[in-house]
């Protein structure tokens, strides 16, 4: 059965003071913590196995998820220091044996996860990245695709002179466990999918 890895360990330092007393995924959107919308989308896809990467103010997220989603099988992977998106997923590797979703706990993306899975399987991909067009790509990772919809170039948060695309990374992925072999965490601190794993 497919699992989902929910990345929820970031400090949200760029949006302080909103995150001084709560982690970024707990920021309310229409009177509900943002993370609830993301877990609801995961549940709607039929996925009941969740791995949550945690760090900053982790107990708030644990309390919410155990209260709101007692029917889900939730495991936690706690980072004592920031590991980055890929590093955090690699640390959770003991829970990952098959194809898995990766979602950011602080980004709301309107995507049908079942259709994403079908696309991923049809393409026989190692990793599938959900992309979207944007007007200002300076706050996102951007990608160039070939005629087969494969990423051939990727750049994280480009300066104005470095912009080569307005197709942005949403932080939503589906991956095969073999992707973990491409993540080298030895003495490297934070390892991100966008900077260290995807093609540049």
Task: Read off the pLDDT of residues 106-139 as tens digits, 9 standing for 90 and up.
Answer: 888 999 999 999 999 999 999 999 998 888 877 7
Buried b (16+ CB within 10 A) or exposed e, 9-37: bbebeeeeeebeebbbbbeeeeeebbbbe
The Cα 105–Cα 156 span in angstroms is 19
Are residues 143 and 169 in contact, defined by beta-carbon separation less than 8 angstroms?
Answer: yes
Domains of the chain, start order: 3-130+170-186 (3.90.550.10)
Q: Express each pLDDT in 15-26 by its tens digit.
A: 567 666 778 888
* pLDDT, mean over the chain: 87
Q: Is the pLDDT at 1 greater than 80, yes or no? A: no
- Active-site residues: which are they? 157
Q: Is the pLDDT at 75 greater than 70, yes or no? A: yes
Q: What is the mean pLDDT of residues 68-87?
A: 91
Output 40 or 197, whichever has higher pLDDT. Answer: 40
């Amino acid at each position: 059965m497919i699992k989902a890895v929910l990345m929820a360990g970031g400090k949200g330092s760029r949006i302080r003071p909103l995150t001084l007393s709560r982690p970024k995924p707990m920021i309310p959107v229409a009177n509900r913590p943002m993370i609830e919308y993301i877990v609801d989308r995961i549940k709607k896809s039929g996925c009941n196995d969740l791995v949550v990467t945690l760090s900053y103010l982790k107990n708030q997220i644990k309390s919410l998820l155990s209260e709101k989603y007692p029917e889900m099988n939730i495991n936690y992977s706690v980072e004592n220091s920031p590991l980055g998106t890929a590093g955090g997923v690699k640390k959770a590797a003991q829970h990952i044996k098959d194809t898995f979703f990766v979602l950011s706990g602080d980004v709301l993306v309107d995507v049908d996860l079942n259709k994403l899975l079908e696309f991923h399987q049809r393409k026989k991909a190692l990793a599938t990245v959900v992309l979207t067009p944007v007007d200002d790509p300076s706050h996102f990772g951007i990608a160039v695709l070939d005629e087969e919809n494969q990423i051939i170039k990727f750049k994280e948060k480009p300066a104005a002179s470095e912009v080569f695309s307005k197709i942005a990374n949403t932080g939503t992925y589906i991956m095969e466990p073999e992707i973990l072999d491409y993540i080298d965490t030895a003495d490297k601190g934070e390892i991100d999918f966008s900077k260290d794993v995807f093609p540049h």
